[in-house]
Amino acid sequence: MFNFGAFAIELPTDWRKVEFDGIDSKVGGITNGIDSLTFDYGWYSYPLNKENKETQLFATDTINGKIAYITKPIKTGNGTIGIYIENAFKENHFNLIGKDIENEKLILDIFKSIKFMDSDTLLNSKQIEFKIK
């Protein structure tokens, strides 16, 4: 489990965390040296609402008691894969986003592992169902 303060993420052993300096939010990332995801935790985190609806699939789901908006490309490895949680912890929002990633199953498993200080780990859906918007 990698701890980032207000939230934690379970990662495979070959992944590591990367920290950046943020101005009005906590920002950083995770990487295995091939694929990378970046996060933004704060008031102005990008809600994935400007992703191309013709090339992306979308889902709304429950991740550890939090309502999550998720997107992935229709064509694997060719677009954005990301999660946005509007009510992450206290008044903050959260996103975790990657580009052109082939192993979507691994990324979705990482998304499912996200826990905030007030998460309810008993509230999870079984399978994320994507739809074209």
**Per-residue pLDDT in tens (0 to 9) along the chain, 133 residues:** 889 988 999 999 999 999 887 777 889 999 999 999 999 999 999 999 999 999 999 999 999 999 999 999 999 999 999 999 999 999 999 999 999 999 999 999 999 999 999 998 888 876 788 887 6
| CATH of the structural domain 2-116, one choice from 3.40.1000.10, 3.30.70.3270, 3.90.1150.10, 3.50.50.60 | 3.40.1000.10
Identify the pLDDT of residue 126.
65
* CA separation for the pair 67, 62 (Å, rounded): 5
Count of helices and strands (H, E) across the chain: 1, 10
Identify the pLDDT of residue 70.
97
Helix (H, G, I), strand (E, B), or coil: what is residue 105? Answer: helix
Domain boundaries, the chain: 2-116
Nearest-Å Rg of the Cα atoms of the chain is: 14
Q: CB neighbours of 118 closer than 8 A, spacing ≥ 6?
A: 65, 89
This prediction has a pTM of 0.92
* CA separation for the pair 19, 126 (Å, rounded): 31
**CB-CB contact of 20 with 31 (8 Å):** no
Identify the pLDDT of residue 94.
97
